[in-house]
Structure 1
């Protein structure tokens, strides 16, 4: 079985209004398709929004033990939004579709794995000859992926499944939102306002009565002292929160000092299977992972996993087959666990799971700890690889430890992503500490 991968990590389904994101965020978001290189086998093909550097392809090929070259990556012509991300117009261009159809036939590709299996991907699959009559594909063709990347749908399904979520409100009414938020502010509590369709915390804003509130999980924090300030801020920002009136807005109690959790669940089979749980590093939006979590108890992790699987069972019953990422929060020193978001797509840990299983072993969660970060500054990918080797930090396949550079953003933002792999939390922490010292001393 040979696979067509599609790096549609930022698109209409996952982002909504692309104009709300600054150019660099769009460039980095589109370039997340670089992570899919880790999943590729000989003969596979990747449709990427941007070219992937030969240096990264050579590095990943060496660690994987299987070659992936620029001939295995195809980049469609730029679209109306430019060449940063894979929007619909880039994937529907007649000339591109004809060329892709020919390549699919030549390589014998018979499976498609996109970052997000939305209606655009379903149409592309049919157009290039990788169509399917499976019920799960029909679910996606009918817009199912859009449902599974909406915070409003998430809250509704959690309510039906009986799994805990933060106290909140879903509304299209500014006045209802003002009443709800003002009641929290007047009680000395904070809220987080979320856009329905925007990932990684970019569309979130914390409204708080205190200047001491720590900003996590939101791109913006605003201090509002009273109802008048709440009314003013919501009135000003409602077009942004609601994507110009297109979507309802989600408002939730902001759980101060909570630990952000995530997990990836496999729904491809007859039942939901937990791949791994993780602790998310928020800086203040998503910036990396700790796999498995290291700041919560086993009991807390078990409770989070149970809630996530209960929700995943509901999604499975709806007809979705694929990976789903489910996030949560552990508050009150782990005494309170709630779920707070889901995304029916590949996620920020999909490639890390591949790295763990393939480079360490199927039991990597029992024998290793992984620490990732998404924005390590580097002059070039080649110089970063060389620096790791000189410092003795580079991943050693024989020992199954060290630092792996997992994505090359040097052309987009002068940074790389990395994953430190250690025999325990202390060892992984030490690799990361030495890595940061290495770069700051240069």
Structure 2
């Protein structure tokens, strides 16, 4: 049961009744032929190595990319006979996830949210799900609970996550599972811990990274937060947290925004971008 692989997940998710993008699996030498075959029915496809995380090794391929005898080049991950998945490339409006835990009483939902991605690579997260894709929460939780029961039947106990893509028609497609702590598990634990003794009973939050135009040290960054009244307030359980050490380049700052509502998160994040003069902010 290799659920931390793309192929293992597709096989299990299909048996559990989850909706999946159209696609097939093959070994590396057959990838280009399969890509060309699927491109007959789909304008674009995404090529994924069986074992990858954070978008590593993904290739997005269109019909135009292979015109004129062009050759499809893949990352060396997986070796000469490695396994790959080729799927239709959906018109994605949002990337969502639900995080759960298998306990002695069975699976329980911990939180859900939307991933921020650039060409399939994870760049940040916001919870709860924003209004644009909040309608898929129940279906994601149902899929996650079914997967949790499956894991429990195989003796697993602990955290896991289920990711999905929401297309422009608002339909969710399961994309992968992570049977472990994920990139969002630790930030969520931090938010719960920081807001535990505050008046913010149901915090909304986001984590991301921003780039300042010039380097600064941690003291200067903290001074900017305080001057803008954005620094985290333990009593209110709201504000901005610089949750990593001072970045080596002095410019790429990881942050969490914690607030009482999703709308307040958006406002505080915009204020942070202005205070730090984030590039593109």
Q: TM-score, normalised by structure 2?
A: 0.87
| More contact order relative to length (CA 8 Å, sep ≥ 6) | 2
Retained in 1: the 8 A contact 2:217–2:246?
Answer: no
Query: What secondary structure sits across from 1:258 in the alignment?
Result: strand
CA-CA distance at 1:341 after TM superposition:
0.8
Retained in 1: the 8 A contact 2:99–2:110?
Answer: yes
Retained in 2: the 8 A contact 1:171–1:250?
Answer: yes
Provide the rounded CA distance (Å) in 1 between the counterparts of 2:27 and 2:235.
56
Provide the rounded CA distance (Å) in 2 between the counterparts of 1:364 and 1:279.
25
Relative to structure 2, which stretch is displaced further, 296-305 or 200-209?
296-305
2:81 is the alignment partner of 1:228 = no
Provide the rounded CA distance (Å) in 2 between the counterparts of 1:395 and 1:331.
35
Residue aligning to 1:396: 233
Residue aligning to 1:331: 167
Structure whose residues are more often strand by fraction: 2
How many residue pairs get aligned? The number is 276
1:98-247 aligned at under 5 Å gives the runs 147-172=2-27, 174-175=29-30, 177-209=31-63, 224-226=65-67, 228-229=69-70, 232-233=71-72, 236-237=73-74, 240=76, 243-245=78-80, 247=82
In structure 2, the CA distance between the partners of 1:160 and 1:362, relative to structure 1 (3 Å rule), is farther
Provide the rounded CA distance (Å) in 2 between the counterparts of 1:370 and 1:179.
44
1:215-364 aligned at under 5 Å gives the runs 224-226=65-67, 228-229=69-70, 232-233=71-72, 236-237=73-74, 240=76, 243-245=78-80, 247-284=82-119, 285-334=121-170, 336-361=171-196
CA-CA distance at 1:340 after TM superposition:
0.4
CA-CA distance at 1:296 after TM superposition:
3.2
In structure 2, the CA distance between the partners of 1:269 and 1:376, relative to structure 1 (3 Å rule), is farther
Structure whose residues are more often helix by fraction: 1
Query: What secondary structure sits across from 2:76 in the alignment?
Result: helix
Residue aligning to 1:422: 259
Q: TM-score, normalised by structure 1?
A: 0.57
Provide the rounded CA distance (Å) in 2 between the counterparts of 1:365 and 1:314.
35
CA-CA distance at 1:401 after TM superposition:
1.0
Give RMSD over aligned pairs.
Answer: 2.7
In structure 2, the CA distance between the partners of 1:331 and 1:168, relative to structure 1 (3 Å rule), is same
Provide the rounded CA distance (Å) in 2 between the counterparts of 1:441 and 1:268.
41
CA-CA distance at 1:253 after TM superposition:
1.1
Unpaired segments ≥5 residues, structure 2: none
Larger Rg: 1
CA-CA distance at 1:416 after TM superposition:
2.5
* Cα deviation code 1:132-171 (max 9, x no counterpart): xxxxxxxxxxxx7xx2321111111112212111111111
